[in-house]
Chains A and B, each alone.
Chain A
């Protein structure tokens, strides 16, 4: 029952990534509100983030959780609304997942290095 095992794994991965995202989104929003209400300029924000290990780790986890969570949700939508099932659809979504990782880490690179 390969299919059963795969679906159970994907479900668990989506649930765990959702829990991680729940925390990440709250922290991210609080940070945005703090930074903008405090009147920090882009340069001041970069001065705080560049070389900051804990923030780097936080956003790396955030990006990875997105890259896991989003394609699994899109996979269900693609199957139900577009009839995409099987390997072609899965391959496209895996590619999309890597694209999310690339874009996310590109943004992290700009902020932290």
Chain B
């Protein structure tokens, strides 16, 4: 693919919350990804740059950053798709504490999965037979629609409500809870509905749909959260909540 200018002007966030942008000149390459750009800076221009990545192919979810104001996987984002006037601005993910440079502290993000009771809780033992699950059922279809989340944090960084309410569980944790609500083998349904209800839970979602628009896996956490709202309402009417 032909490229325009020979160099990119890349502004990269350096430091913690009190940091600043530092500009680097990075040579353009064919089919260059944003992760390639960051790696070039770290290996050739400034070895003190901190960033995080692992698989480079969109499987691990560790390289998400804010690129020109939008949370993205840097490994799956071509420079040609996002550079404006041969410029890039690369920052750490929003709504998360910055450890240093482009590295965010993901603890709160994953702690919220725990708070949303994101762990499967079954009742069978190894002596029981396999559970029979109908893959065509409505519940299985809903589960499958949300199960491919790899916890990259793009939705969480894109969510306005997380910015407004620090305790809001966020799209990823709520999506995880929704997959478990639809898992017919799981036995902690009511406990989980209680965990994801309340003003830090699904009822705070404003359906802005930024999570759904930006999810690199094309999951729709907004739909999952809407499902949780319906499920909590049904449980409440039955007197289970």
Interface residues of A (CB under 8 A from B): 1, 3-12, 15, 76, 79-81, 85
User: Does more than half of chain B's interface fall in helix, strand or loop, or is it mixed?
Assistant: helix
Are A4 and B197 touching (Cβ within 8 A)?
A: yes
A68 and B165 alpha carbons, distance in the complex (Å): 24
Interface residues of B (CB under 8 A from A): 161, 164-165, 193-195, 197-199, 201, 203-204, 206, 229, 232-233, 235-237, 241
A-B contact pairs, 20 of them (CB 8 A): A1-B194, A1-B198, A4-B193, A4-B201, A4-B232, A4-B241, A5-B197, A5-B236, A6-B198, A7-B198, A7-B199, A8-B233, A8-B236, A8-B241, A9-B236, A12-B236, A12-B237, A15-B233, A80-B164, A85-B199
Are A11 and B229 touching (Cβ within 8 A)?
A: yes
Residue in B closest to A12 when the chains form the complex, CB atoms: B233
Are A7 and B164 touching (Cβ within 8 A)?
A: no
Are B233 and A11 touching (Cβ within 8 A)?
A: yes
Residue in B closest to A6 when the chains form the complex, CB atoms: B198
Tell whether A8 pairs with B204 under 8 Å between CB atoms, given A1-B198, A79-B199.
Answer: no
Name the distance in Å between B156's Cβ and chain A's nearest Cβ. Answer: 17
Provide the residues of chain A in CB contact with B199, threshold 8 Å.
3, 7, 79, 85
Provide the residues of chain A in CB contact with B198, threshold 8 Å.
1, 3-4, 6-7
A80 and B206 alpha carbons, distance in the complex (Å): 11
A15 and B230 alpha carbons, distance in the complex (Å): 11
A56 and B241 alpha carbons, distance in the complex (Å): 37
Provide the residues of chain A in CB contact with B193, threshold 8 Å.
4
Provide the residues of chain A in CB contact with B235, threshold 8 Å.
8
Which of A7, A9, A12 makes the CB contact (< 8 A) with B201? A7
Provide the residues of chain A in CB contact with B237, threshold 8 Å.
12
Are A80 and B161 touching (Cβ within 8 A)?
A: yes
Name the distance in Å between B206's Cβ and chain A's nearest Cβ. Answer: 8
Are A8 and B232 touching (Cβ within 8 A)?
A: yes
Are B165 and A80 touching (Cβ within 8 A)?
A: yes
Provide the residues of chain B in CB contact with A5, threshold 8 Å.
197, 236, 241
Q: Kindly list 10 other residue pairs between chains A and B, CB separation below 8 angstroms, not including A8-B241, A11-B229, A76-B206.
A: A4-B193, A4-B194, A7-B197, A7-B199, A7-B203, A8-B197, A8-B233, A11-B233, A79-B165, A80-B161
